Structure 1
Amino acid sequence: MASSILQALMWVVALSLCISSTECLTGDSIIDHSQSVDGGLCFNLIGPSGYTCLEHTAQTKDGFLLGLQRVSSGILNLGAQTGPPVLLLHGLFMAGDIWFMDSPNESLGFILADHGFDVWVGNIRGTKWSHAHESLSDGDKEFWDWSWEEMALYDLETMLSYINSKTGSKVFVVGHSQGTIMSLAAFTQPDIVRMVEAAALLSPISYLDHITSKLVLNLVHVYFDEALGLLGMHQLNLKSDILTNMIESVCDGHLDCSELLSPLTGENCCFNNSRVDVYLEYEPHPTSVKNLKHLFQMIRKGTFARYDYGSIKNLLQYGKLKPPTFDLSKIPESLPIWMAHGGNDALGDVIDVQHTLKELKSKPNVLFLEDYGHIDFLLSTRGYEDLYDNMINFFKSCEMSS
């Protein structure tokens, strides 16, 4: 009990210090390490592991410049790539680097490349690798005026269109957490889903009203998102020296970092504590306060809907008092879907996953891992045997049938 209180207190203190820090308000640490300065994700993380990696940029309809990386195994030539394209979509406070954080035989991005897939790494707006706009700077309020809704309807649509234009093929989509929210919302749109061959969803989320994360529930209860708005904040950047140093010092022999994560993500069975310094070198990435507010709306209201501006603004924006919902029954029954979720996942609760499954017309392939928490689906030391081999077999069966 005392341990769990300490863990929750550490997170709250870290968040409070970060919010009061100028660094969190300005995002200077992200600007100083922009893609144009340090050579990009390929140069820093993927290429040094011996994989062929090329940087691409795609522009959304609302002007954001998204970084995409195209990856193939070191034993293959990218120009001769024969496998189908796969797009990787990361979660909240993450970016495309999260798929390459561990060794090549443990990281999904490397594993897919080694199996001959044409791997494309997605980075949503506002993250380190997609931190630019055609006319706005990140100091502009308008730069941060978006939530996962825009990620789904603009960012994902742009990524899929770009990959489709380069490969001439439909795309396999892999999402984790927020990446699954984006995917499920986007797949209800006929013009987007037609570009998708199949989808694999890790910790799938469309409903959040049964989450058990102690930290998140506490922040929702005290209207943390509203407080950020009252402070005039538009971005939430936790990549501060204060937070990073605090976590590193606590994890350096004083506390099991997998336990430190438990109040947020649920107990993770297979998190690799020895890699914490590597993870913190890249994570976390910034997001918008509006995005956090949208997610908290989902928790409070129990809906999978567009952003709620309030009755009057909803009338102006949507022509109705309440925001429209994303109807999961509109996802084509013909779209093959594979899902993996865990019994210890405090963010992707089993009840909420069942709610999602009931609304889908199709019957997805479902893998349930009783001892997995939220982060295990990305950074498990047993990821290949528990998850990825099953996913790859699913993709290959879809490829054969198509």
Structure 2
Amino acid sequence: MVHGLLDSSIAYVILGPERSLGFLLSDLGYDIWLLNTRGNRYSRKHKRFHRYQPQFWDFSFHELGIYDLPAAVDYVLARSKGFEQIHYVGHSQGTTSFFVMGSERPAYMKKIKSMQALAPVAYWDYIDSPIILTFVKYLRPVTLIAKLIGIYEFLPENDVWRRLGNKLCSFVFQNTCAYFIQEVMGVDFKQFNTSLVPLFTGHASSGSSVKSLWHYGQQIHSGGFFKYDYYNSWENRRRHGADTPPQYKVANVDCKVALYYSKNDRLTSDIDVVRLRDTLPNVVLDYLIPDPLYNHVNFIWGNDVKTVINDRMVEIMRKVDNGEL
């Protein structure tokens, strides 16, 4: 189970044993493996680099897909005797990195029994979050300045930032913080428990690399799903074998895929997901949430997430296990 950008493994247990997918699947007898992707507060060690070195932060969802996810899949299978495949659940960036893995290392698709894609992110031509679009407009110069002054981490993990975040989203300002989250992700206060904002933000703002944000920024209105652009033909040739970055071969993702998406998700347009659906060769479920206000974080934090999403995912996994899909 793989979380989204700036999130952590807490995403799949944060709502407790009655609603969170991690608990529900555990109660059904599944072994649960919760991944913390590199760079978040629970995944900050490296065999060669310290987290204060720029080399540590030289990654985006590309490296997660071609290195980290395959290593995690192999690790889980090596410790799951008698099993040759796993079920995969990803939210947001957890889907992006999976599509990278399938595109670049398609042999791993034979190790995936099913892939449940929550608010899947690949194509970003119809994203309509005003805050994100404004942020991305200035992201390249900000990224260059950050690099010049030695900042490679987004939402630095230190006492100053932690205290600031806790104060901004404390019980005193939780309504303001909730409003900002909704403006970014899609407004839906019916599904959002404002009283839990301090808990959500305390765990969700877990950090990542500046490069990760910029790689996503490059996808916006790009017309495709591209590898990282170094804005240098020599570096692009060295990394990609071409002057410009090539697209990921999403058609290589031939495992069983279930798609869950919504119309009010400002980070994943339903139009972009339909394009993704039409590219994937083995979609077993194409589920557009009927609720017109369902947004990007409701797939994890929504008050009705158990009945709207999680129960449906459990049923898909049961059908796959029984050979019905």
- TM-score, structure 2 normalization: 0.91
Question: Is the Cα contact below 8 Å between 2:155 and 2:208 reproduced in 1?
Answer: yes
* Residue pair 1:177, 1:203 contacting (<8 A) in 2 also: yes
Give the alignment partner of residue 253 of structure 2, picking from 325, 331, 350.
Answer: 331
Which residue is equivalent to 1:127? 40
CA distance in 2 between partners of 1:354 and 1:280 (Å): 30
1:288-344 Cα shifts (integer Å, max 9, x gaps):
111111110111523212111122211122221111211111222xx2111111111
The structural deviation recorded for 1:277 is 2.1
User: Does 2:306 match 1:390?
Assistant: no
Q: What is the count of residue pairs matched by the alignment?
A: 311
- The answer as to 2:85 corresponding to 1:184 is no
Map of 2:146 onto structure 1? 228
Instruction: Say whether 1:373 aligns with 2:295.
Output: yes
Per-residue CA deviation, residues 19-77 of structure 1 (Å, 9 max, x unaligned), is xxxxxxxxxxxxxxxxxxxxxxxxxxxxxxxxxxxxxxxxxxxxxxxxxxxxxxxxxxx
Aligned mate of 1:148, from 43, 48, 61: 61
Equivalent residue in structure 2 for 1:167, among 77, 80, 85: 80
Displacement of 1:257 in angstroms is 4.6
Q: CA deviation at 1:365?
A: 0.4
Q: Classify 1:238/1:300 alpha carbon distance in 2 versus 1 (closer, same or farther; 3 Å).
A: farther
**Cα deviation, residue 94, structure 1:** 0.6
In the alignment, the residues of structure 1 paired with residue 267 and residue 238 of structure 2 have an alpha-carbon distance, to the nearest angstrom, of: 33
Distance in structure 1 (CA, Å) of the matches to 2:20 and 2:173: 22
Q: Higher relative CO (CA 8 A, sep ≥ 6), structure 1 or 2? A: 2
**CA deviation string 1:341-372 (max 9, x = no partner):** 11110001111111111211223302211321
Alignment of 1:295-374 (within 5 A): 295-310=216-231, 311-332=233-254, 335-369=255-289, 370-374=292-296
Of the candidates 236, 247, 251, which is equivalent to residue 173 of structure 2? 251
Preserved CA contact (<8 Å) 2:178 2:197: no
Task: For residue 172 of structure 1, give the secondary structure of its aligned residue in structure 2.
Answer: strand
Shift of the 366–351 alpha-carbon distance from structure 1 to 2, 3 Å rule, reads same
CA-CA distance at 1:233 after TM superposition:
1.4
Amino acid at match of 1:358: D
* Cα distance per residue 1:168-211 (max 9 Å; x no partner): 42110000000000111112222321211111000011111211
Task: Report SS of the residue matched to 1:365.
Answer: strand
The corresponding residue for 2:12 is 99
SS at match of 1:103: coil
1:217 paired residue number: 133
1:109-143 per-residue CA deviation (whole Å, 9 max, x = no partner) reads 11111122111101111112211011211011101
The amino acid of 2:86's aligned partner reads V
**Alpha-carbon shift at residue 145 of structure 1 (Å):** 0.7
CA distance in 2, matches of 1:283, 1:244: 12
Structure 1 residue 256, shift from structure 2 partner: 5.9
TM-score w.r.t. structure 1 length?
0.74
Partners of 2:116 and 2:56 in 1: how far apart?
Answer: 30
Q: Quick one: structure 1 residues 144 and 186, their matched pair in 2 at CA, closer, same or farther if it must change by over 3 Å?
A: same
1:149/1:182 contact within 8 Å kept: yes
For the residue of structure 1 that corresponds to 2:169, the secondary structure is helix
In the alignment, the residues of structure 2 paired with residue 244 and residue 215 of structure 1 have an alpha-carbon distance, to the nearest angstrom, of: 21
Give the partner amino acid of 1:120. W
Cα RMSD (Å): 1.7
Residue in 2 that maps onto 1:194: 110
Q: Where is the strand percentage greater, Structure 1 or Structure 2?
A: 1
Letter in 2 for 1:281: G
- Name the aligned partner's letter for residue 390 of structure 1: R
Which 5+ residue runs of structure 1 have no aligned equivalent?
A: 1-87
| Gapped regions of structure 2 (runs ≥ 5) | none
AA matched with 2:202: E
Find runs of 4+ consecutive structure 1 residues off by over 4 angstroms.
Answer: none
Percent identity, aligned pairs only?
26
Local SS of the residue matching 2:34: strand
Change (3 A) 1:125 1:259: same
Once residues 104 and 363 of structure 1 are traced to their aligned partners in structure 2, the CA distance between those partners, rounded to angstroms, is: 29
Question: Is the 1:225–1:296 Cα contact (8 Å) retained in structure 2?
Answer: no
For the residues of structure 2 that align with 1:263 and 1:288, how far apart are their CA atoms?
23
- Partners of 2:33 and 2:288 lie apart in 1 by 26
Structure 1 Cα separation of the partners of residues 64 and 111 of structure 2: 16
Aligned mates of 1:329, 1:280 — CA distance in 2: 36
**Separation of aligned partners in 1, 2:156 and 2:128:** 22
Aligned counterparts of 1:346 and 1:221: Cα–Cα separation in 2: 16
> 1:347 & 1:227 partners in 2: Cα distance?
26
Can you list the C-alpha shifts for 1:79-110, whole angstroms capped at 9, x where unaligned?
A: xxxxxxxxx00000011112111121111111
